[in-house]
Structure 1
Amino acid sequence: MAGHLRLILSTQGALALALPLVGCMTVPDVREPALATPAAALRARSIAVTRHPALSEQPAPSQWWHLFGDPTLTTLEAEAAASNLDLLAASARIEESRAQLGMVDAARRPQVSVQAGYTRSALSEHSPMVLLGAPSEPTSTWSLGLQAGWELDLWGYLRHQSESAEARLQASAYGMDAVKVSVAGDVARTYLLLRGVQAQLGIVEENLQIARNLVRMTESRQRNGVATRFDAAAAHADVASIQARLAQLQQQRDALMNALALLLSKPPRELDERLADAALPALPERLPIGVPSELARNRPDILQAEARLRASVADIGAAEADFYPRIRLTGSVGVQAFELSDLGSWSSRQFSVGPALHLPIFQGGRLKSNLALSDARHRLAGIAYRQTVLRAWHEVDNALSAYATELKRHEQLQLAWTQNQTALEVAQRAYQQGTSDFTSVLVARRSLLSSQAELADCATASALSVVALYRALGGGWSSELRMETAATDKDAS
């Protein structure tokens, strides 16, 4: 009875020492970084939506590539979402963060373990215990018991660590969403570049045929004494120049096909047959881009930076709580005997229970350095958050500007192509009639080739501006799906 009384008094004494310190523990006073309002960018966005009928403030689709209406692109996006190695690595990082959260949460729960042992020992005949009368014969000791322990998290040290680990798990999940956005954008961008190069190949091959016809015409005129060697040499040089351009475009086409294969985690040349020549997809007739206030909620990299900021705040709380005492309740119950047959007897029982108090007094500056480190990391997380938001606004503004510019450029290039086509027809007719030299034909044909190439390049750039726009808006993942997954994980835990 006296032993139990001493145990209760010791427990109450430890708690009495610790409880006054609870009132000294304060929640970390951390403010979120102040963000400037992009007023000029918002005005430019509003003007762009007003001027271009395709743009609207309807919610942006998560699978925005469907707007192009290209079945091949849709299939490639689906395959990349299932097999891309960057996505698989991001998924593994989520599992890693989930395991770390489980390890941190385990420290907040009671710990129970079973211990069993057997030892055979003997005292030395010259030991003090034997000289005092203890036996020196070998003896066996059998033990079996149950141990339990639980830390009282009075100042939130373990709670803050758990909050930090949970925020880092969320950051890993948003990191995977950011990879989804990047992969979806890379697949669409590479596919459109490929279709653009294939369109350029068609233009060059068509012009190669025209150039060869000009060679035959100049050679015929030279044989009849109408043309000079200059005309024939210039025509042959033009064919060689076009063939060199053709070889360059073929190399670009092969490299882009391999780039798509890599995004889908396939060996080189694996997609060559599937990616045969096809027309560049037309620009979508409608481009829903949502409202500006949704940007921070739709960009997973912003949400990831915000989660990392929350984790840094929790780390500060844990570092501050580490200055205070830590109390752990421990207990054990079991049996111990010299004979195995005596383990079941009531007289072999043993137990212990009581609190353990850890009070840091001198740590060589470790606790202060840890708090300073947490503060510095929080400032870095705040700067990273501001950078991410600012970069997002810049990317959206640049993408909208590129979209408007490419539309305007396409109109002018279309006009230039029409005029150059007329100029070539007039120059060829004049050369055949002998009223103009071959130089005018060569200049007109090169101008037409340049116009065709620029027009195809502009069409590709216009499509790429759409990809850049939806990539900047955070398209390629679903915030609703993320919230549903988070709710399911919470229910499961």
Structure 2
Amino acid sequence: MRRCLLIATVAALAGCTVGPKFHTPDAVLPPTWQAPTVDVNSVTVNRPFESAWWTQFNDPLLTSLVQQAAASNLDLALADSRLEQSRSLIKIAGADTRPALAANGSYQRERNSQQGLNDPSGHEGKSAFDLWQYGVSASWELDLWGRVRHSLEAANAGAALSEADRNAVALSIAAETATNYLRLRGVQATLDVTRQNLDIARQSQQLTQTRFENGVTTQLDTANAAAQVATLEARLPLLEAEEVRLINALSYLLGQAPNALRQTLAVPRDIPAPPSTVPVGIPSELARRRPDIQRAEAALHRATATVGIAKADFYPRLSLGGSAGFQALEGSNLGLWSARQWSLGPSLYLPIFQGGRLSGTLELRERQQQEAALDYRRTVLAAWHEVEDALVNYAAEQRHHEALMRAVAQNKAALETARARYKEGAIDFINVLNVQRELIQTQSALVDSATRVSTDLVVVYKALAGGWPEPKSNLASQAASIPR
């Protein structure tokens, strides 16, 4: 009867978990995004979007590069390693929820003191003796107050935090790869525009030289034309260096040596245009997708669990232990039944005076929980702002791009008219030069704007945590499969 009562008491105590219980916090987000929609080339709509957002640019090479980066990027490999380490910590913490069993064996040559305690060998400390023993032992802490359970909960939250960190790296790598690729195409387009304008400037220089030789114009026109040619030529080395730098940046993201992608990426292509529609989803989905919000939630969960650990440390710890084995003064007697030995019983640890260590630890853990709760609110608010700002920038750049397209068309028409009138002698060359400079500036601005439209869309996708490619085992060894 007493044993039954003891077992029932222990079982009841085992359910007395102290400390707060974690609940997923509410993410304060608006019902819809308030940023203006775009009504030119792309339209943002509140519907679920394609998680593989990089495919929306309809560029197979871009898609391949993003997938390759997911398979071979070294920063992502490090994040994967840290995630696996955190999962190993779960196994370590989970071991305390189960009994521990160990085997042991030993042999010792001993001699006891003649003036000390009794000599079990019967030699009264006058000579040495052998001691042989082996057996098994077991121990198990009864988790009466949830200390072990909270420790396991904290380990699981730590793994969730590491997974969120890993996902944040994966999203950042995908966005950085796409951004560098789009910028590369923008630089190559700027190079093409610069070379085209350089050809026009050289034609103008030749024209002014011919008119100067015929006595129709002055040396001022030839000097201005030559300066325009030199100015455009000076732009080329910097643009070419930027092209190489971006190719190397992509090579690094893919875990490859500098210039490894030179042959693949050096051939210019058009800047990938955004899709006709850009669905942004609903704000309530943001907390489930964004890795930084997931990380903040996991950090709050872990901090809450550590409060429970600190509270459980105020209560007694009860452990059950036992051992069984054989002990003999001669090895030949180890197998005898009379050589058996065993022990069984509970042990109790009760903290009485710790000099304020326990109360100080609890206070620290509660402060850390409060900090984690504030950090969660801050992270959600920052994400909200980031999405709204990204949508505003994308909409504004779309309108900017449309205006620049009209400006370029007008400047081209103006340059044709100015060149024709200069040939007729109706205007000075300085007028032609001014129109050509304006065209060069607007053309360069148009290319930059086209690049920003696409890169701003990448920022939108990153802010919305649209997704990231999961690495495939065969991608790491298939660099040669990238479309050329």
Give the TM-score normalised by the residue count of structure 1: 0.89
Q: 1:56, 1:34 → 2: CA distance? A: 24
Alignment of 1:293-308 (within 5 A): 293-308=284-299
* Paired position in structure 1 for 2:475: none
Q: 1:293, 1:50 → 2: CA distance? A: 24
Query: Is 1:460–2:455 an aligned residue pair?
Result: no
What are the Cα deviations for residues 149-181 of structure 1, in whole angstroms up to 9, with x where unaligned? 000001000000100100111111122111111
| CA apart distance, 1:288 | 2.2
Query: Is 1:403–2:394 an aligned residue pair?
Result: yes
- Larger deviation: 68-77 or 390-399? 390-399
- Check conservation: 1:14, 1:357, Cα contact below 8 A: no
* Paired position in structure 1 for 2:47: 58
Match of 1:238 among 228, 235, 240: 228
Q: 2:23, 2:7 → 1: CA distance? A: 35
- Check conservation: 2:201, 2:225, Cα contact below 8 A: yes
Alignment of 1:285-296 (within 5 A): 285-296=276-287
Alignment of 1:333-352 (within 5 A): 333-352=324-343
- Larger deviation: 20-29 or 81-90? 20-29
| CA apart distance, 1:218 | 1.2
- Check conservation: 2:41, 2:276, Cα contact below 8 A: no
In structure 1, list runs of 5 or more residues that go unmatched.
480-493
Alignment of 1:41-440 (within 5 A): 42=32, 44-45=34-35, 47-48=36-37, 54-124=43-113, 134-276=124-266, 277-440=268-431
Q: 2:431, 2:262 → 1: CA distance? A: 40
Aligned residue identity for 1:265: G
Higher relative contact order (CA closer than 8 Å, sequence separation 6+):
2
| CA apart distance, 1:57 | 2.7
| CA apart distance, 1:305 | 1.3
What are the Cα deviations for residues 1-46 of structure 1, in whole angstroms up to 9, with x where unaligned? xxxx9xx88x988997x8998798644277776755447xx3624x
| CA apart distance, 1:128 | 6.7
Distance 1:473 1:23, change over 3 A: closer
In structure 2, list runs of 5 or more residues that go unmatched.
471-484
What SS class does the counterpart of residue 119 from structure 1 fall into?
strand
Q: Pairwise CA RMSD of aligned residues?
A: 2.6
Q: Which has the higher helix share?
A: 1
| CA apart distance, 1:300 | 2.0
- Larger deviation: 117-126 or 396-405? 117-126
Give the TM-score normalised by the residue count of structure 2: 0.91
- Check conservation: 2:28, 2:380, Cα contact below 8 A: no
Number of aligned positions between the proteins: 468
- Check conservation: 2:324, 2:342, Cα contact below 8 A: yes
| CA apart distance, 1:217 | 1.1
- Check conservation: 2:27, 2:287, Cα contact below 8 A: no
What SS class does the counterpart of residue 335 from structure 1 fall into?
strand
Q: 1:288, 1:34 → 2: CA distance? A: 24
Aligned residue identity for 1:108: T
Q: 1:25, 1:257 → 2: CA distance? A: 57
What SS class does the counterpart of residue 126 from structure 2 fall into?
coil
What SS class does the counterpart of residue 265 from structure 2 fall into?
coil
- Check conservation: 2:40, 2:399, Cα contact below 8 A: no
Q: 2:256, 2:15 → 1: CA distance? A: 61
Q: 1:205, 1:245 → 2: CA distance? A: 10
Aligned residue identity for 2:297: E
Aligned residue identity for 2:126: S
